[in-house]
Copies of this chain bind each other. A is one copy, B any other.
């Protein structure tokens, strides 16, 4: 039982990757169907047949981004033995991911759809859920540090997680504004220099 009908002329996963690059660069709202048609090199009806709608294509592109570009950040974080090293690895991996030579700068999940308040709640909620997941991951690692005995129990893990997440998200803006990888890694350095003061405080 093979496939009936006329075969596809394009590779669905390649087309999706090209759509991801466009959405990553321009965001959801500033990306038009002609933009996608040009980048994916397939006509509009093929896009709709394969992905359903611009909105569903974006959601699939975000999932692909999450796996191919974002996953490494959290894997590198998870492989570190201490909370401090985990935060450092997360920020360094982010700085590198946001400044890859031939790729769009900054994080697609942070920059992809900031202004869809009124309409497109599905898009907005999807990205917000991803960002909330980042928060949860950082927060959990800090709490693990407490149960490990690395960190004092009195520390406000949620506030500290928010601090480092704020730096990560700020780096997306910096990267989009043209900051070099070295500049972002310097930001990470200062963020980690701060660690001892932060975890010894109230």
Q: Which residues of A contact B (CB under 8 A)?
A: 25-27, 29-30, 110-111, 114-118, 128, 131, 156, 159-160, 162-163, 165-174, 176-177, 179, 183, 186-187, 190-191, 193-194, 196-198, 201
**In the complex, A99→B25 CA distance in Å?**
28
Query: Chain B contacts of A159 at CB under 8 A?
Result: 183, 186-187, 190
Contacts known (A193-B197, A194-B194, A198-B194); A187 close to B173, Cβ less than 8 A: no
Task: Judge whether A163 and B177 touch: CB under 8 Å.
Answer: no
Using CB atoms, name the residue of chain B closest to A127. B177
**In the complex, A29→B126 CA distance in Å?**
21
Which of B170, B176, B193, B198 contacts A170 (CB under 8 A)? B170
Query: Chain B contacts of A114 at CB under 8 A?
Result: 27, 111, 114, 173, 176
Q: How far is the CB of A122 from chain B (nearest CB, A)?
A: 16
Task: Judge whether B177 and A191 touch: CB under 8 Å.
Answer: no
Task: Judge whether A190 and B174 touch: CB under 8 Å.
Answer: no
Using CB atoms, name the residue of chain B closest to A172. B173
Contacts known (A29-B30, A110-B173); A156 close to B198, Cβ less than 8 A: no
**In the complex, A60→B131 CA distance in Å?**
33
Which of B131, B173, B190, B198 contacts A190 (CB under 8 A)? B198
Using CB atoms, name the residue of chain B closest to A112. B115
Task: Judge whether A25 and B117 touch: CB under 8 Å.
Answer: yes
**In the complex, A29→B29 CA distance in Å?**
8
**In the complex, A159→B191 CA distance in Å?**
12
Query: Chain B contacts of A171 at CB under 8 A?
Result: 166, 170
Task: Judge whether A166 and B194 touch: CB under 8 Å.
Answer: no
